[in-house]
Chain A
Amino acid sequence: MTDGPQALVIEAPLVKPKVGREDWVMRAGLAVIGVYLLVAVVFPLYTILSKSFQDSRGLFVGLDNYAEYFATPALFYSINNSLTISVVSMVITVGLAFGYAYGLTRSCMPGKGVFKAIALIPILAPSLLPAISLRYLFGAQGMIKGLLMGETIYGPIGIVIGEVFWTFPHALLIIFTALSLSDARLYEAAEALGASKLRTFFTVTLPGAKYGLISACFVVFTLVITDFGVPKVIGGGYNVLAVDIYKQVVGQQNFQMGAVVGLVLLAPALLAFVADRMIQGKQVALLSARAVPYEPRPDRRFDLAMLAFCGTVAFIIIGILGVAQFAALVKFWPYNLSLALDSYQFDLMDGGSWGAFWNSLKLAAWTAVIGTAVIFTGAYLVEKSKGFERGRGLIQLMCMIPLAVPGIVLGLAYIFFFNAVGNPLGFIYHTLIILVLCTVTHFYTVSHLTAVTALKQMDAEFEAVSSSLKVPFYRTFIRVTVPVCMPAILDISIYLFVNAMTTVSAVIFLYSADTQLASVAVLNMDDAGDTAPAAAMGMMIVYTSATVRLLHFLLTRGIARRTQAWRKR
C-alpha cells in the first residue's frame, strides 16, 4: 500500500482498461453496499466507541478512561481468563470438529446424514438451554456431578463446556467444507508412491484442510472471546472481558468504560483477522477444475472407530438437549420431579407469550430473506468487480468487523445512532426493521465468508465470457452465479434464520412493546425464576428451527437436483 502512488503511475497507462458502463453500474452497486455498511456497522459503532474518549458528560478526555482501566488489576485477570478460555475452547472445539468431520467425509460409517444433522443442533438452541442443562447435570443437585470430581461447574470448566457445545457446529461447518473439497488424484498418487496412511494424512489431508482449520480456529476464538452469555450464567466469579462489558454497561451504566472494554476486545479479534488474511494470501487453490472428488473406501476397523467417535459426540449433544427438554417438563426441580405440561402456557408466564414467539419467527424470516440478499450481493460485488481496489478492501474489512463486536456493544450502538436527534432513519427505531437490520449486521461476517468461499470456487471465466458476449453482468449474476451458488445461498439463509431465533445480546436493547422476542423471553423467564417455562420456550425455539432446517433440507435437495447437476461427472 505504501508504494501505491508510484505503482499507480507505472501501471496506469499499461493495465487500466477503459471504464465501461458495466463497470460504472458495478461501482454504483459497490457504493450502495459501502453506504449500507457505513450506516449499519461503522457509524453506529463510532457513536459508542468514541465514548471511550469522553467523560460521562460527553466532554473529550483523551485517554483518561484507558489509563483508569489499565490501572485496575481486575483487567489483567480478565484478559488472562478471556485468552485462556478462548484458546482452550478453540483447541477442544476444533479438535472435536475435525475428528467428526473426518468421520463424515473420509469413512464409510453408516448414518452420516443423521450425524451431520445432530452436529448442527447446538446452533438452534438459545445459549440458556445448555446452561440450564449443565446446572441440572453438574450443579449441586446435579445428576452426574460426580464426574467433575469435586470441581465446581460454575467457573472455567462450565464456561469451556458451554462454549464448546455452542461453537462446535460453526467449526464443523467450516472444516467439513474444507475436507469435502479434496482431490482423489493426490491420494492415488500418495498410494502409488507407497506412502503410509499416517504419512498421507500429514502430507495430503492436513495441508489440504489447512485453510479451513485456521478459519475455524479464528471463528471459534472470536466467538468465544466476545460471548458473554455463557460466562454470565455459568461462569461464577471467573471474570472475562465480555462480562466486564456487561458489568460496566448494565450493572453500572458506565458507557465510557464499557466502550473501553469494547475496544480492547476488538484488538485480539482484529489480530486474528489480520493473521487469517495473511495465511489466506498464501493459500493456493488446491482444487483445480480438473480435480476428481475423493470417495472413501470401506475399512471395517477405521469405520467402526469413526462411528464410535462420532456416536459419542452426538450422544453428548443429544444428552445436553434432552436434559433441557426434561427441565421443561419437570414440575419443580429438584424437589418435585413429577412431569407436567404447565410450562407451555406461555401467556400465563413472566416475560413472554406466544406473541413473542411469532415476533421471533417474523424477525427470523425477514433476517433470512433480506440478509441473504444483501450479503450475497455484497460479496459478489466485492469479489467479482474489477478495479477500485482500495474501496473493495475497505468494504471487505467492514464486513469482518461485526464478528468482533459483542452484542451488547452493537445493541447500544444502534440506540445511540438511530435514536439520535435528527437522524433521518430515526423512524425505524422501536420497529421490527431495526431488529432485522441489527441482526443481519450481528451475523454478517460468517455469512459473508461463506458467500465469498462459494464465489471463489466459481471460475472468473464466466464473467469474462459473458462480457465478451455483451451480456450485462447482472444477467450473468441472476442466470449463472446465483443458481451455481444456490447451496451456499441457502446455507446463509438458514444460518441467519436460526441465529435470529436465538439471538439476545444486541436485540435486548432494541425491542419494543410490539416487538418482544422469544429469545429475550427465555432469558426473562429464567430471570424471574421460572426455569421450566424458560426451558420450554427454549425448546420451542429449537423445534421450530429444526423444522425449518428440515424443510430447508428438503428444499435444498430439490433445488440442488435442478441447479447442481453440472457438478456430477
Chain B
Amino acid sequence: MRTNLLKRLTAALAMGVFALGVGGGVAVAKTDLLVYTSIEADELAKFKNAFEKDYPDINIKWVRDSTGIMGAKLLAEKDNPRADIVWGMAATVLLQLIPYDYFQAYAPKGVEKLNPLYVDPKNNPPLWVGQRAYVAAVCYNTIEGKKNNLPIPKSWKDLTKPVYKGHVIMPNPGSSGTAYLDVSSWIQMWGEEDAFKFMDALHKNISRYTHSGSKPCKLAAAGEIPIGVSFAYRVVKSKAAGAPLVLITPEEGLGWEVEAMAIVRNTKNLAAARALADWTISRKSMELHAPGYAAVALPGIPNPVKDFPDVGGKMIKNDFAWAGANKARIVKKWTARYDAKSEPRKK
C-alpha cells in the first residue's frame, strides 16, 4: 500500500514538472495582458473586443471590481505588483500609489492631442494618462417626487431646503470615493467653512448615508428615495431600463474624477501594455469611451446619449493633489460630525 502511494506521488510530481515545462514553452504564442480596472462591468466586453480586433496577438484578461476593492487590492500588492497595467481607474487611486513607485512612465502615441487636464502634469513622460471624466450628479425620481410634492432641485443649496427633509440619500465619504468627490468639490468651491455649513444643513435632510457611491441613484431608480446624490453614468442606464429618473447637474458646479491608466513598473508584457495605452487614446477608442460620460480625454468627441446635459462648463477646477493630500483629515472631520451619531432617524 505504501509503495503504491509513493509511486503515485512520484508520478504526480513528474507530471507537474512536465506540465510546468510545457506551459512555459507554449505561453509565447499569444500575450495575456492582465488589466486591473474599475470601469462598469457592462463595458468590459466592448473594449476587449475592439482592442483585440486591432491587436489579435494580445489577449486582455480583466480583473474588475469596485474602486474601493481594487484600490485596496492594488495597495496590498504594492511590494510585488501583479497587474500589467491599471486601466480605467480613478486617478485619485493612481495618485495614492505613485509614492510607492508603482508605475513606469510612458507617453502613449498621440498624447499631445489630449486635453492637458487629463495628463499627469508632474512627470514627463507622464506616469498616468486620463481616459475620460465622470461628474457628480443628482438623480430625481419623478413619481416619488410628485407623491411627496417635491420641486425639482436645481442647485446644491436647494437640497438644504426644509421641504426635502428625509428625502435625500448620499454616500458616506468614509466608504465611497464618489462621496469624497462631492465633499471635496464643495470645499474647493466654497471654502472649508462654508462647505461644512452647507453639509450641516444638508445632513438634516439626509435620510441615510450609503456605503456605495452608485447606490443613491439606484435607490432613487427603485423608488426607495426621491433624491439620490451620486454620479451620472448609471442614470442613463437606469432610465433605459424604465426608471422614472431626471438627471440634475447642480448649477453651482460639479465635482469630477478622471478615469485613467498607468503601466505597472515590473510588467513582463511591456510591449502589450504600451499597445493598449496607445490604442486607448486613439480616436476610435475614445468614441467608445464617450457614451454616458461627461467628457473624454480627446477633445471634439461628443456624448452620443441624447438628453445628457452639457456639463462641460460646470466642471469645477479640481485640484486632485490637494484632494488626495487632505482626504484623511476631511473624512475624519466629516465622520466626527455626521457619522458618529448617525443613528437611523425616524420620519
Q: A residues touching B (Cβ–Cβ < 8 Å)? A: 72-74, 77, 135, 139-141, 150-152, 154-156, 232, 236-239, 243, 246-247, 249-255, 331-336, 349-352, 412, 415-416, 419-421, 426, 429-430, 508-509, 511-514, 520, 524-525, 527-529, 531
Q: How far is the CA of A8 from the CA of B76 in the complex (A)?
A: 46
Q: How far is the CA of A509 from the CA of B36 in the complex (A)?
A: 12
Taking a contact as CB atoms under 8 Å apart, the answer to whether B208 and A529 are in contact is: no
From A141, A150, A512, A520, B224 is in contact (CB under 8 Å) with A141
Taking a contact as CB atoms under 8 Å apart, the answer to whether A420 and B344 are in contact is: no
CB distance from A268 to the nearest CB of B (A): 21
Inside 8 A of B65's CB, which chain A residues have their CB? 508, 520, 524
Say if the beta carbon of B242 comes within 8 Å of chain A: yes
In the complex, besides A152-B345, A529-B234, 4 extra interface pairs with C-beta distance below 8 angstroms are A141-B222, A336-B242, A419-B79, A528-B234
Q: How far is the CA of A59 from the CA of B34 in the complex (A)?
A: 31
Inside 8 A of B224's CB, which chain A residues have their CB? 135, 139-141
7 contacts between A and B (CB under 8 A): A152-B344, A232-B211, A237-B339, A250-B68, A335-B244, A420-B79, A525-B41
Inside 8 A of A415's CB, which chain B residues have their CB? 73, 76-77
CB distance from B48 to the nearest CB of A (A): 11
Inside 8 A of B347's CB, which chain A residues have their CB? 150, 152
CB distance from A450 to the nearest CB of B (A): 28
Taking a contact as CB atoms under 8 Å apart, the answer to whether A237 and B208 are in contact is: yes
Taking a contact as CB atoms under 8 Å apart, the answer to whether A246 and B175 are in contact is: yes
Taking a contact as CB atoms under 8 Å apart, the answer to whether B174 and A252 are in contact is: yes
CB distance from B55 to the nearest CB of A (A): 17
Known: A77-B341, A239-B339, A253-B72. A334 touches B223 (CB 8 A): yes
Inside 8 A of A238's CB, which chain B residues have their CB? 342-344
- Per the 8 Å Cβ criterion, residues 143-183 of B in contact with A are 143-144, 172-177
Interface of A: prevailing SS: loop
Inside 8 A of A524's CB, which chain B residues have their CB? 41, 64-66
Inside 8 A of A350's CB, which chain B residues have their CB? 40-42
Taking a contact as CB atoms under 8 Å apart, the answer to whether B244 and A249 are in contact is: no
Nearest 4 CB-CB pairings of A with B: A155-B344, A237-B342, A513-B61, A350-B41
Say if the beta carbon of B325 comes within 8 Å of chain A: no
Say if the beta carbon of B225 comes within 8 Å of chain A: yes
Q: How far is the CA of A140 from the CA of B42 in the complex (A)?
A: 28
Interface 9-residue window, one of B192-200, B246-254, B328-336: B328-336
Taking a contact as CB atoms under 8 Å apart, the answer to whether A335 and B242 are in contact is: yes
Known: A247-B211, A528-B40. A416 touches B34 (CB 8 A): no
Q: How far is the CA of A430 from the CA of B77 in the complex (A)?
A: 12
Taking a contact as CB atoms under 8 Å apart, the answer to whether B76 and A236 are in contact is: no
Q: How far is the CA of A249 from the CA of B74 in the complex (A)?
A: 12
Q: How far is the CA of A441 from the CA of B328 in the complex (A)?
A: 33
Q: How far is the CA of A419 from the CA of B77 in the complex (A)?
A: 7
Inside 8 A of B335's CB, which chain A residues have their CB? 72, 74
Inside 8 A of A253's CB, which chain B residues have their CB? 68, 71-72, 75, 96
